[in-house]
């Protein structure tokens, strides 16, 4: 009886202690995600990017044959039109080669004419009297005709080659341009592929600048809009030239994490921009007289849909609490660098770019990032 009473009180004590325990709350899982801080379109116009002017076309001209120069009258700074003869090699040796090749071709044609006549004659005789001409004689005449035709084909190729070499003694300008350098003088012996002069076309000027990856999406937005960039060259600091984006590099530098962007502009009428001149570039976005359209760009992986409606969403991260909230957005066009957002996101907000399908409303996240554009 004493043992039963002790057991009874022990059970009561255990039940009492269980009832007094407070429920331990489960710790919410913190999800690791990648995110970016959305760049303002005005950010590009707040910075100047240095670069150096270069011609849109430039080439070093050379002959395809060797020989002494007999005509080389152009000078550095001369303006040349397309197809103008700028230099000439003594053509006499090549003219002789062409005449010799043509003479041999004429001889071969005469041989063919005789061989064809002999073959036709023996064939006619054989048709009248089958025993008068042997088949072996007919075959020999036919073989002479065929071999002569083969010789003629070879000689025609020789004539064409000699004619081409003669035409190579004339060096012509491939485009309108300015002579920027001469490497030889008249009457010098030159070899095939030896540089003779340098020709540049500076009717349009190009410049390559390096743009950080957090701004490259804005370059993608501006590219189809034409002349929405502004260029200032050091020799003309008060002169602004409009330019457009020609090409955007697709691979960032491993050391600087910047992308090469090539811009192009027309040569101004009042000043002359020469290759090698230093300058700097900015965007016209944000200026009152600018017609450039602004847009926010985020990676395509940042947008998602729930299937419950036709809306498109992104996850916005609160920079203070590190918790996410779902927000519907209006998307625009797709660019190489991402998708444009026309409504729903403000500049400098943090948007999740990877892991969007594993998040819940008001969930705390841990942001991981590698690039300067990504939030650390």
Residue-by-residue DSSP string for 123-143: HHHHHH-TTTS-HHHHHHHHH
Residues in the chain: 376
| CA gap 233, 25 in Å, rounded | 65
Q: Residue 17's CB: how many other CB atoms inside 10 A?
A: 9
Please tell me the pTM assigned to this model. 0.66
CB 49 within 8 A of CB 183: no
* SS3 (DSSP) at 317: strand
- The predicted pLDDT at position 250 comes to 87
- The predicted pLDDT at position 225 comes to 85
- Tokens found for residue 30: 């913190």
CB 361 within 8 A of CB 327: no
The separation between the first and the last C-alpha atoms of the chain, rounded to the nearest angstrom, is 70
CB neighbour list of residue 361: distance below 8 Å, 6 or more residues apart: 324, 325, 326
CB neighbour list of residue 197: distance below 8 Å, 6 or more residues apart: 60, 61, 74, 86, 87, 179, 181, 182, 183
* SS3 (DSSP) at 26: coil
CB 44 within 8 A of CB 218: yes
CB 275 within 8 A of CB 180: yes
What is the dihedral angle through the alpha carbons of 241, 242, 247, 250, rounded to the nearest 10 degrees?
Answer: 90
CATH of 31-41+296-368, one of 2.40.420.20, 2.40.50.140, 1.10.3720.10, 3.40.50.720: 2.40.420.20
Fold category of 44-56+202-283 in CATH: Elongation Factor Tu (Ef-tu); domain 3 (2.40.30)
Q: What is the pLDDT along the chain (376 residues), one digit of tens a residue?
A: 555 555 555 665 555 555 555 554 555 678 888 888 888 777 888 889 999 999 999 999 999 999 999 999 899 999 999 999 999 999 999 999 999 999 999 999 999 999 999 888 888 888 888 778 888 888 888 999 999 999 999 999 999 999 999 999 999 999 999 999 999 999 999 999 999 999 999 889 999 999 988 788 888 888 888 889 999 999 999 999 999 999 999 888 888 889 999 999 999 988 989 889 999 999 887 665 555 666 788 888 889 988 888 889 999 999 889 899 999 998 888 888 788 888 888 888 899 988 888 888 988 888 886 443 443 3
- The predicted pLDDT at position 375 comes to 39
| CA gap 202, 204 in Å, rounded | 5
- Tokens found for residue 81: 């039109």
- The predicted pLDDT at position 376 comes to 37
* Domain spans of the chain, in order of start: 31-41+296-368, 44-56+202-283, 59-90+169-198, 92-167
- The predicted pLDDT at position 374 comes to 42
- The predicted pLDDT at position 95 comes to 95
- The predicted pLDDT at position 30 comes to 81
The structure tokens 């050379």 sit at 62
- The predicted pLDDT at position 28 comes to 64
CATH top class, domain 59-90+169-198: mainly beta
Pairing of strands 31-37, 365-368: parallel
Per-position DSSP letters for 258-305, written without gaps between them: EEEEEEEEEPPSSS-PPTT-EEEEEE-TT-TT--PPP-EEE-GGG-B-
| CA gap 285, 363 in Å, rounded | 37
CB 119 within 8 A of CB 145: yes
């Amino acid at each position: 009886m004493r043992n039963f009473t002790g057991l009874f009180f022990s059970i009561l004590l255990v039940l009492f202690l269980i009832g007094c325990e407070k429920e331990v709350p489960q710790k919410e899982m913190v999800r690791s995600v990648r995110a970016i801080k959305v760049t303002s379109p005005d950010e590009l116009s707040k910075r100047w990017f240095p670069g150096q002017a270069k011609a849109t076309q430039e080439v070093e001209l050379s002959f395809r044959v060797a020989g002494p120069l007999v005509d080389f009258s152009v000078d550095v700074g001369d303006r040349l039109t397309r197809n103008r003869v700028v230099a000439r090699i003594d053509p006499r040796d090549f003219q002789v080669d062409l005449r010799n090749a043509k003479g041999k071709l004429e001889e071969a044609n005469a041989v063919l004419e005789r061989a064809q006549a002999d073959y036709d004659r023996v064939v006619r005789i054989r048709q009248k009297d089958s025993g008068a001409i042997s088949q072996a004689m007919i075959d020999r005449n036919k073989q002479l005709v065929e071999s002569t035709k083969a010789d003629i084909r070879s000689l025609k190729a020789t004539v064409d080659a000699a004619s081409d070499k003669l035409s190579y003694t004339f060096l012509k300008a491939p485009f309108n341009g300015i002579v920027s350098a001469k490497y030889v003088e008249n009457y010098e012996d030159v070899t095939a592929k030896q540089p003779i002069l340098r020709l540049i076309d500076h009717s349009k000027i190009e410049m390559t600048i390096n743009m950080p990856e957090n701004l490259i999406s804005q370059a993608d937005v501006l590219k189809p809009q034409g002349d929405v960039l502004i260029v200032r060259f050091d020799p003309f600091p008060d002169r602004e030239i409009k330019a457009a984006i020609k090409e955007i590099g697709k691979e960032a530098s491993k050391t600087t994490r910047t992308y090469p962007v090539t811009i192009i502009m027309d040569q101004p009428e009042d000043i002359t921009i020469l290759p090698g001149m230093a300058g700097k570039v900015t965007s016209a976005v944000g200026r009152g007289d600018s017609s450039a359209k602004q847009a926010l760009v985020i990676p395509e992986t940042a947008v998602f849909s729930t299937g419950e409606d036709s809306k498109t969403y992104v996850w916005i991260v609160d920079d203070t609490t590190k918790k996410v909230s779902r927000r519907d957005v209006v998307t625009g066009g797709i660019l190489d660098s991402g998708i444009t957002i026309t409504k729903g996101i403000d500049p400098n907000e943090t948007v999740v770019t990877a892991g969007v399908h594993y998040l819940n409303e008001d969930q705390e996240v841990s942001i991981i990032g590698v690039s300067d554009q990504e939030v650390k």
